Each structure stands twice: as C-alpha cells, then as structure tokens.
C-alpha cells in the first residue's frame, strides 16, 4: 500500500498533539542516533568492500606479475637458444650441401636406349676399348 504524503503529515500532527514537545525531542533523538547508526553501519560495510577490493586487486597484480615473469624468462631463454639453433642450422645446411655435392650419379646402361648410349659414349673421355659396353648390358 503506497503512502500518501498528506497521510504522513496528518500522522505527524496527531503525534505532536498527543505527545507535544516530547514527541519532537524523541523524533529528533531517533533521527540523530539513527543517522549516526546508519552512517557507522554503512561506513563499516564500505571499509569491508574496500578491503575485499584491495585483496582482489593484489591477487590480480600477483597473477599479472607472475605471468610477466614467466614471459620474460621465455624471452631470455629465446635469446640464448636462437643463435645456437641458427648456427647449428647453418652447419647442417653446409654439411648437407657438401654431402650432396660429393654424391655422384652413374648412368644405368641396362635401361638406357641405344641412341642415348651412343650419345653418352661420344661425349665421354673413354678410350675405344673402354667403350665396349656390351659386356655391362648383358
């Protein structure tokens, strides 16, 4: 049931008629102590909320700091490892190039056509008696 302002004023006037000035004094005391009690109560709740907020903020700061510390360690390790890895990669690449350069391929005379074989023998530095490949094709 909503309060009507006129009803509230009528009630207050009736209290003043019945109680007189003592009602006004009691009302003033209740209002003054009530305001102080509410202020004290809400100030305590506000301090509690501030404290909880501060604890949560410290937890977040700690989480951020620990994550940042791990990231910094990873970056420091990266600066140590990457130059070594690049050096090892270059060494491996050079070794692979050397190994591939040393691999020699030999023609397979058995699968080569007669025309290709004659062309190969013409370009080779083999002596005529060395060019008798028929023994190899057998």
Helix/strand/coil (H, E, C) string of the chain? CCCCHHHHHHHHHHHHHHHCHHHHHHHHHHHHHHHHHHHHHHHHHHHHHHHHHHHHHHHHHHHHHHHHHHHHHHHHHHHHHHHHHHHHHHHHHHHHHHHHHHCCCCCCCCCCCHHHHHHHHHHCCCCHHHHCCHHHHC
Q: Is residue 96 located within the same domain as residue 33?
A: yes
pLDDT digits (tens, 9 = 90+) for 1-11: 566 777 877 77
Is there a single domain that holds both residue 99 and residue 111?
no
pLDDT mean over 28-56 = 85
Q: Is residue 72 part of a domain?
A: yes
pLDDT 10s digits, 15-27: 767 766 676 676 6
pLDDT at 71 over 70: yes
Residue 65 lies inside a defined structural domain of this protein? yes
Range of the domain at 58: 12-104
Q: Say if residue 77 is in the same domain as residue 35.
A: yes
Residue 4 belongs to a domain: no
Q: Tell whether 18 and 86 lie within a shared domain.
A: yes
């Amino acid at each position: 049931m909503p309060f009507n302002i006129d009803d509230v004023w009528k009630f207050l006037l009736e209290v003043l008629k019945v109680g007189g000035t003592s009602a006004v004094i009691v009302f003033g005391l209740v209002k003054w102590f009530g305001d102080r009690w509410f202020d004290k109560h809400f100030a305590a709740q506000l301090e509690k909320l501030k404290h909880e907020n501060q604890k949560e903020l410290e937890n977040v700061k700690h989480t951020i700091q620990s994550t940042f510390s791990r990231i910094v360690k990873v970056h420091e390790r990266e600066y140590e490892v990457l130059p070594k890895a690049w050096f090892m990669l270059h060494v491996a690449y050079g070794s692979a190039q050397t190994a591939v350069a040393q691999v020699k391929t030999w023609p397979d005379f058995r699968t080569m056509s007669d025309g290709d074989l004659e062309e190969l023998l013409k370009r080779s530095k083999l002596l005529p008696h060395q060019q008798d490949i028929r023994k190899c094709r057998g």
